[in-house]
């Protein structure tokens, strides 16, 4: 199994190109199920999760074809021949649940394996199911599967989400696009990935207003059509490299990154003594002096992203003073803490909060983590550690970071992938 070795202590300098967002690409691929015509996506990142979603669409009979050599342009199309999303694929990737709304809206039936809990929490999908029921779907759970059907078309409904769930907002938005009548989704998630999905659906002929606000209004149409859509840049990839520069010191240009999508992280980095600024073509991150402890609490967008919590904690591990980091989105997203402590960090978790007491230096160690962002936080920590850090279970990183080691190495990091 591949591992990544990092020898810490090198400041970073140079430019990193930010790819299309994984968490935008996954629902956009599922949106390809909403029409018989072709949906073409550009700026597609090359990631294991994209391959998994492609495999799932193939199970449904829908082909995802590359339109360029690098696989950055994908064209999705074909008739749906099977409405079952099998356990074998859903267990690998929870985002598979995003085919539920489109299949139900298009074909009137779907059978999707229930995603189980995962390393970061129990992660139920009750809000997805309740919303679809409000739109007229009959849903039963049987043998570990969600069975959903509707007679005729889904109907518009007034849905109020008790929590601004990203996935539930996406599933309901896609379903509502083809429903009969008007749907409102109140307390909708406002993440840039939702706005990106709404923009793509609008290009396909959907009638949606309010994207990026708490209330989405969708006037259902009978059919959607072909469109081409560029995927929004990945704010979490950009934020991760900003943390890399913060901990290693130096200066990076994050080419293609959207400054407006990084506001909460920018404020936290500013408190910590790191400068994030908008420049032509992207975002610049620079640290010249020492790091200071800064508190953060994760919240739905536009709050501080849970997907940046682990990387920011790695930075705080070597900051002067203390930082309190509170996780409000997932109940078990501190798996990186024991591994960071093995590298010499001083972090105590109490309930949903972690107190990080900055240490002068971390020391390299063999480490591993059980999810994507926890794994990358160990790479970030390794950039500032003395000696070698070996990050095991690199397949987690490959789910969400394209060419991580090459991008960091091109900016001066001493990092390599050990294969086999």
Q: Which are the catalytic amino acids?
A: 118
Candidate segments 65-73, 117-125, 355-363, 410-418, binder of ligand EPZ by CB under 6 A: 117-125
Q: Strands, DSSP E only, in 168-281?
A: 182-186, 207-209, 215-219, 227-230, 250-255, 275-279
Alpha helices in 249-371 (DSSP H): 263-271, 309-316, 336-342
Residue 352 C-beta: closest distance to ligand EPZ, Å: 11
Q: Which of 60, 373, 393, 396 binds ligand EPZ (CB under 6 A)?
A: 373
Per CB under 6 A, 123 contacts ligand EPZ: yes
- Characterise 393 by phi-psi region: left (phi > 0), alpha (psi -120 to 50), beta (else): left
What is residue 95's DSSP assignment? G
Q: Which of 127, 150, 208, 231 binds ligand EPZ (CB under 6 A)?
A: 127
C-alpha span between 276 and 200 (Å, rounded)? 29
Cβ atoms of 115 and 77 within 8 Å: the answer is no
Q: Is residue 302 helix, strand or coil?
A: coil
Residue 388 C-beta: closest distance to ligand EPZ, Å: 26
Task: Name beta bridge partners: 143.
Answer: none
Per CB under 6 A, 26 contacts ligand EPZ: yes
**Tokens describing residue 48:** 């294991």
CA 203 to mean position of chain CA atoms: 23
Candidate segments 68-76, 125-133, 177-185, 204-212, binder of ligand EPZ by CB under 6 A: 125-133
Per CB under 6 A, 128 contacts ligand EPZ: yes
CA distances from 331 to 36, 109, 122, 214 (A): 40, 32, 8, 24
Per CB under 6 A, 400 contacts ligand EPZ: yes
Residue 170 C-beta: closest distance to ligand EPZ, Å: 7
- What number of chain residues touch ligand EPZ (CB under 6 A)? 22
Q: Choose between 41 and 127: whose C-beta lies nearer to ligand EPZ.
A: 127
Q: Choose between 97 and 345: whose C-beta lies nearer to ligand EPZ.
A: 97
| Residue that is written with structure tokens 């400041």 in the block | 11
Q: Which of 61, 88, 158, 163 binds ligand EPZ (CB under 6 A)?
A: 163
Site for ligand EPZ in 353-372 (CB under 6 A): 372
Q: Choose between 24 and 365: whose C-beta lies nearer to ligand EPZ.
A: 24
Contacts of 44 (CB under 8 A, 6+ apart): 20, 25, 50, 71, 72, 73, 74, 231
Helix then strand then coil, % of the chain, to nearest 5: 35, 30, 35
Candidate segments 10-18, 60-68, 118-126, 208-216, binder of ligand EPZ by CB under 6 A: 118-126
Q: Which of 19, 32, 157, 167 binds ligand EPZ (CB under 6 A)?
A: 167
Give the 3-state DSSP-derived string for 215-228, with helices as H, strands as E and coil as C.
EEEEECCCCCCCEE
Per CB under 6 A, 307 contacts ligand EPZ: yes
Q: Choose between 97 and 318: whose C-beta lies nearer to ligand EPZ.
A: 97
Cβ atoms of 19 and 233 within 8 Å: the answer is yes
Residue 29 C-beta: closest distance to ligand EPZ, Å: 11
Closest Cα to residue 320, out of 355, 291, 361? Answer: 291
Per CB under 6 A, 23 contacts ligand EPZ: yes
Q: Which of 54, 165, 377, 389 binds ligand EPZ (CB under 6 A)?
A: 165
Residue 94 C-beta: closest distance to ligand EPZ, Å: 6
Residue 165 C-beta: closest distance to ligand EPZ, Å: 3
Residue 240, H or E segment: helix 235-248
Residue 224 C-beta: closest distance to ligand EPZ, Å: 21
What is residue 419's DSSP assignment? P
What is residue 114's DSSP assignment? P
Binding site for ligand EPZ (CB under 6 A): 23, 26, 95, 121, 123-128, 163, 165-168, 306-307, 329-330, 372-373, 400
């Amino acid at each position: 199994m591949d591992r990544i070795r990092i020898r810490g202590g090198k400041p970073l300098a140079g430019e990193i190109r930010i790819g299309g967002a994984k968490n935008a690409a996954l629902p956009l691929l599922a949106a390809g199920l909403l029409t018989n015509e072709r949906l073409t996506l550009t700026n597609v990142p090359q990631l294991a999760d994209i391959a998994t979603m492609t495999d799932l669409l193939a199970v449904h009979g829908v082909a995802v074809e590359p339109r360029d050599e690098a696989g950055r342009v994908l064209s999705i199309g074909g008739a749906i021949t099977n409405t079952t999303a099998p356990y074998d694929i859903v267990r690998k990737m929870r985002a598979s649940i995003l085919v539920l709304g489109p299949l139900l809206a298009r074909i009137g039936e779907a059978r999707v394996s229930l995603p189980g809990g995962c390393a970061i929490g129990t992660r139920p999908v009750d809000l997805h199911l309740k919303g679809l029921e409000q739109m007229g779907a009959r849903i039963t759970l049987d043998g570990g599967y969600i069975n959903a059907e509707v007679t005729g078309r889904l109907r518009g409904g007034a849905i109020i989400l008790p929590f601004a769930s990203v996935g539930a907002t996406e599933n309901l938005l896609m379903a509502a696009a083809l429903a009969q009548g008007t749907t409102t989704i109140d307390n909708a998630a406002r993440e840039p990935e939702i706005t990106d999905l709404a923009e793509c659906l609008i290009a396909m002929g959907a009638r949606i207003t309010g994207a990026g606000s708490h209330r989405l209004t969708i006037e259902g149409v009978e059919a959607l059509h072909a469109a081409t859509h560029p995927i929004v840049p990945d704010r979490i990839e950009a934020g991760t490299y900003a943390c890399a520069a913060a901990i290693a010191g130096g200066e990076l240009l994050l080419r293609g990154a959207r400054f407006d999508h990084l506001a909460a992280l920018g404020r936290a980095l500013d408190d910590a003594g790191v400068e994030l600024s908008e420049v032509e073509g992207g975002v610049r991150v620079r640290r010249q002096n020492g790091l200071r402890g800064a508190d953060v609490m994760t919240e739905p967008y536009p709050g501080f992203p849970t997907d940046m919590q682990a990387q920011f904690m790695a930075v705080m591990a070597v900051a002067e003073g203390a930082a309190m980091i509170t996780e409000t989105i997932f109940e078990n997203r501190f798996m990186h803490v024991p591994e960071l402590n093995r590298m010499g960090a001083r972090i105590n978790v109490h309930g949903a909060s972690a107190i990080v007491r900055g240490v002068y230096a971390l020391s390299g160690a063999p480490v591993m983590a059980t999810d994507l962002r926890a794994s990358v936080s160990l790479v970030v920590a390794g950039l500032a550690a003395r000696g070698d850090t070996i990050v095991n279970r690199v397949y987690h990183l490959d789910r969400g970071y394209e060419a991580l080691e090459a991008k960091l190495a091109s900016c001066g990091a001493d990092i390599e992938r050990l294969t086999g």
